[in-house]
Amino acid sequence: MKAGPDIALIASLLGDPARANMLTALMGGQALTAGELAAQAGVTAQTASTHLAKLEAGGLLTVRRQGRHRYFALSGSDVAQVLEGLMGLAIRAGHQRTRTGPKEPALRQARVCYDHLAGDLGVAMLDGLVRRGLIAEQGENLSLTPAGQDFTMEFGIDPGILATSSRRPLCKSCLDWSARRSHLAGALGAALLDRIYALGWARRLPDSRIVSFSPGGLKHFQRVFAT
Amino acid sequence: MKAGPDIALIASLLGDPARANMLTALMGGQALTAGELAAQAGVTAQTASTHLAKLEAGGLLTVRRQGRHRYFALSGSDVAQVLEGLMGLAIRAGHQRTRTGPKEPALRQARVCYDHLAGDLGVAMLDGLVRRGLIAEQGENLSLTPAGQDFTMEFGIDPGILATSSRRPLCKSCLDWSARRSHLAGALGAALLDRIYALGWARRLPDSRIVSFSPGGLKHFQRVFAT
DNA sequence: TTCATAATTCGACGATAACCGAAGCATGGG
DNA sequence: CCCATGCTTCGGTTATCGTCGAATTATGAA
């Protein structure tokens, strides 16, 4: 009846709870083994295997063999973007997940969204960058100002990412499902989070998307971005 | 196990072929009755009714009663955006719809994407605007230049949309699934298409997303945007 | 080689949900 | 008042798919 790409085929891949859990776990950006994903999804290894095969066939996941493990990762940031969009639609409809664990507050404060910082601290960072005139905000579009370029140098970011030659956009706004405001994504967002790790301000909690700031690291973060 | 919005719940709504067809039909931006959507999806009125009820409960559709008809429309541009993203993932995986009708070439040339122009002419328009310096392109971010503001005035666009107060972004890039390049979305994209209709350069074909340019209208279009 | 772990394949069970026929409500017109 | 139209609800059938138990292959370690 209609021409065009087949939405239903890949949307049905995201429509299963087990597969959705796996993809959400992979939103952390790092590759996970089949066993880890099975545990995250709450299913046995057999079912996880079939699910992962389907996701790979659908082009949503890439696989890398390493020893007797198979590491799965999202096949690209476009996949992560669609997942974020779906999360946005889900909260708008008021359909939250029922089970809300003890880690929830920590997730709301600071978590990783594919490869950049999200949560309250994520939106605070973007707010600070805009307030200080380092990033220009024009509706939904973000761009790095000349002053912002100086700042990234001082902060220790590799200047190479400023080259517009790369396919990935430098600054990108990403709607935060917990704060319902935007935080900074794109190559710069990823580089800033990397630098925060390198400075020892924060670290990833294992098996979780939570970004845990040390007391001292949080102070530094506040000083740089919240003044 | 995990906190956060429930992706699977609404993704499963998009995962059914009948519902996906309905949503794709509504990407045209105009509201359709339950009967029309049933025909588009290729199912009977009964099944369409249950599908539409689910889509409405999921917050993806809004309904408006008018006489004994019920008009359905996408509940917002964010829904359309997620659908576009899914189309992008689908073509990347090579999963096109099998049946390709005779209208396919016309669809590739010019169609409406929710409320703005897409297809070859859509990307040509954005290309022209960028080449003439009316829109600044910075990676994935688009912004209207001062020269571009003058142009919109001359072209007959209501200056009211330039007010940044509105929630909707003015310029937005939207990945085109047929051309695999970006075209112009956002408030400006919608306003330009409205103006193209008003000038009589093109019109919507009934029961389709095709935008049909008149020979003279196409000439005007080429002159304005492709020089 | 032998054992343990990681992951896949096979087969069968069970539940969910899409589908349509038929009947039931509304709304609008003659 | 009666009929036609648009849409919804109900019941029952069918089929698809997620799930796990058991067995199989592959890799690494002892």
Asked if residue A124 and residue A41 are part of one domain, the reply reads no
**Model confidence over A48-76: pLDDT tens digits?**
999 999 999 999 999 988 878 899 999 98
Instruction: Show which residues sit with Cβ under 7 A of nucleic chain C.
Output: A 33-35, 45-46, 48-50, 52-53, 68-70; B 12, 16-18, 43-44, 46-47, 50-51, 54, 67-68
In a domain, A85, yes or no: no
Asked if residue B146 and residue B47 are part of one domain, the reply reads no
Residue ending a domain, among A55, A75, A95, is: A75
Closest-CA residue to B26 (of B98, B113, B123, B99): B113
Asked if residue A167 and residue A119 are part of one domain, the reply reads yes
Distance A43 CA to C15 C1' (A): 17
In a domain, A208, yes or no: yes
Distance B59 CA to C25 C1' (A): 25
Residue nearest to nucleotide C18 (CA to C1'): B47
Written as six digits, the tokens of B192 are 């330009």
Could you list the residue range(s) of the whole structural domain that residue A41 is in?
A: 7-75
How many angstroms separate the CA atoms of B172 and B135, rounded?
11
Closest-CA residue to B113 (of B204, B10, B44, B213): B204
Distance set, CA B172 to CA A81, A161, B58, B72 (Å):
15, 23, 26, 25
**Model confidence over A86-111: pLDDT tens digits?**
998 998 877 554 444 445 678 888 98
Could you give phi then psi for residue B71, rounded to 5 degrees?
Answer: -95, 125
Indicate the angle between helix axes B7-14 and A17-26, nearest 10 degrees.
120
Asked if residue B119 and residue B211 are part of one domain, the reply reads yes
In a domain, B15, yes or no: yes
Q: What is the pLDDT of residue A95?
A: 55
Q: How many helices (H) and strands (E) does chain A have?
A: 10, 11
Asked if residue B219 and residue B114 are part of one domain, the reply reads yes
In a domain, A96, yes or no: no
Q: What does DSSP assign to residue A75?
A: S
Helix (H) or strand (E) holding A49: helix A45-57
Whether B91 shows a pLDDT value over 50: the answer reads: yes
Q: What is the dihedral of CA A167, B149, A128, A113, to 10 degrees?
A: -40
Asked if residue A59 and residue A20 are part of one domain, the reply reads yes
Asked if residue B135 and residue B211 are part of one domain, the reply reads yes
Written as six digits, the tokens of B116 are 């703005």
CB contact under 8 A, B83 and A42: no
**How many CB pairs below 8 A link A and B?**
221
What are A135's strand-pairing partners?
A144
Could you give phi then psi for residue A5, rounded to 5 degrees?
Answer: -65, 155
Quick check: A50 CB within 7 A of strand D?
A: yes
Chain D nucleotides with an atom closer than 7 Å to a protein C-beta: 5-10, 17-23, 26-28
Asked if residue B210 and residue B114 are part of one domain, the reply reads yes
Contact A143, A156 (CB under 8 A): no
Contact B213, B110 (CB under 8 A): yes
Q: Which residues of B touch A139 (CB under 8 A)?
A: 164, 168-171, 186
How many angstroms separate the CA atoms of B17 and B173, rounded?
27
Closest-CA residue to B53 (of B87, B97, B22, B84): B22
CATH of the domain at B65: 1.10.10.10
Q: Is the ipTM here above 0.85? A: no
Nucleotide nearest A50, CA–C1', reads C8
Distance from CA of A2 to the nearest CA of B (A): 7
In a domain, B87, yes or no: no
Asked if residue B59 and residue B138 are part of one domain, the reply reads no
Asked if residue A108 and residue A70 are part of one domain, the reply reads no
Residue ending a domain, among B54, B75, B96, is: B75
Distance A52 CA to D27 C1' (A): 20
Distance set, CA A60 to CA A33, A52, A57, A118, B225 (Å):
15, 10, 8, 22, 37
Question: Where do the DSSP E strands lie in chain B?
Answer: 32-33, 61-66, 69-74, 111-113, 116-118, 135-138, 141-144, 172-175, 182-185, 202-204, 211-213
Query: What's the number of CA atoms in the CB half-sphere (13 Å) around residue B42?
Result: 7
Quick check: B17 CB within 7 A of strand D?
A: no
Nucleotide nearest B13, CA–C1', reads C17
How many angstroms separate the CA atoms of B127 and B119, rounded?
12
Q: What is the pLDDT of residue A100?
A: 41
Instruction: Count the domains in chain B.
Output: 2
Whether A12 shows a pLDDT value over 90: the answer reads: yes
Chain C nucleotides with an atom closer than 7 Å to a protein C-beta: 5-10, 17-23, 26-28
Contact A192, A184 (CB under 8 A): yes
Asked if residue A216 and residue A120 are part of one domain, the reply reads yes
In a domain, B93, yes or no: no
**Model confidence over B1-57: pLDDT tens digits?**
445 678 999 999 999 999 999 999 998 887 889 999 999 899 999 999 999 999 999
In a domain, B57, yes or no: yes
**Model confidence over B112-156: pLDDT tens digits?**
888 889 888 998 999 899 989 999 887 667 888 999 999 999 999
In a domain, A92, yes or no: no
Asked if residue B199 and residue B125 are part of one domain, the reply reads yes
Average pLDDT over residues B64-93: 88
